[in-house]
Amino acid sequence: MKDQFDREINYMRISVTDRCNFRCKYCMPESGVENLGHDKILSFESIERIVRAAVNLGIHKFRLTGGEPLVRKGIVGLVEKLAQIEGVHDLAMTTNGALLKDYAADLKKAGLSRLNISMDTFYEEKYREITRGGDINEVMDGLDAAVAAGFARIRFNAVIMRGFNDDEILSFAQLTLNEAFDVRFIELMPIGHAENDWRYGYVPNSEIKDRLPGLVPVSSKDSVAQYYKYPDAVGRIGFISPMSDHFCGSCNKIRLTADGKLKPCLHTNEELDLSPILKTGDDEALREAISQAIFNKEEKHHLNEGAEPIDRDMNKIGG
């Protein structure tokens, strides 16, 4: 369906948990954050009901996120249930990849369409530093398992930060030369602890493009990323620029948090709590609530105009 600004909203990102096996420095403090209790987290049954309601409104693209979605017990079963819903045309997942070695084959069999792997550095020590204890070798093993399972055009999401990994831009770009990988550079956003507790240097995507001469623009159905490639390269390079060149005019998504809040826009505190409606069992009321949230979606965010960052950390919202 369309919102009040005539944008076609056909994509929902679903956070299945606020828990994560990492403590990334731009996401949460070293001590972690207070996790939602099990009674606050949406059940798989509720997620399935919401997806069915969303499909009836014309949403056909879904992405499972977290926290880290692979720490949620029973995640493969949820993928299988959602993949079987008529009208779900694309079911993807964003993961840090550390647990992927044990899950990739089962996820593919269950019906998962695509994978995004969040990875900000190739170096063991730097990876351990940014994640507070993660092992890049586990991620590489997970990547190998995903390729072996048959996942096509795996995407890497990298947040480039001045003074941390801006010396690895070319290394990320080179991933696309001989493999069908997409590397997407995502600008650091002032959300949660990225804004308040631990500041890296922001690098605009325009600067990254300048460091990668020779890129040729390519067309894509992705509403948030501008894609390029090197001549004769197999993969693509994408730029997601929410700060320097926001894509609000073509935004096609809404977000569902792990505790049942519908967020029409990532960068505002406006949320609609679906939990009370879910308790009634009234699926028509559920569709109507989602419909109203979509229609009332804001025209754009105002972070690049000096607006205050949102209250929630990304692990609470869904990456």
Say yes or no to pLDDT of 261 above 80.
yes
Using the structure block, give the residue that is written with the tokens 């990668």: 212
Q: What are phi and psi of 284, to 5 degrees?
A: -65, -40
The predicted pLDDT at position 22 comes to 92
From CA 256, how far away is CA 44, in angstroms rounded? 13
Over residues 192-218, the pLDDT tens digits come to 555 554 456 889 999 999 999 999 999
pLDDT band at 123 (very low <50, low <70, confident <90, very high): very high
Catalogue all structural domains in the chain, each as residue range(s) with its CATH number: 11-317 (3.20.20.70)
pTM summary value: 0.92
pLDDT band at 115 (very low <50, low <70, confident <90, very high): very high
The predicted pLDDT at position 28 comes to 75
Say yes or no to pLDDT of 38 above 70.
yes
Range with the largest mean pLDDT of 204-218, 248-262, 268-282: 204-218
Report the percentage of the chain scoring pLDDT > 90.
75
Lowest mean pLDDT among 121-125, 245-249, 287-291: 245-249
- Average pLDDT of every residue of the chain: 90
Reduced to 3 states, what is the DSSP secondary structure of residue 316? helix
From CA 156, how far away is CA 160, in angstroms rounded? 12
The predicted pLDDT at position 198 comes to 47
The residue among 42, 63, 57, 22 whose CA lies nearest residue 193 is: 22
Say yes or no to pLDDT of 319 above 80.
no
Instruction: Work out the widest C-alpha separation in the chain, in whole angstroms.
Output: 57
Amino acid at 118: S
Cα 17 to the center of its chain, rounded Å = 13
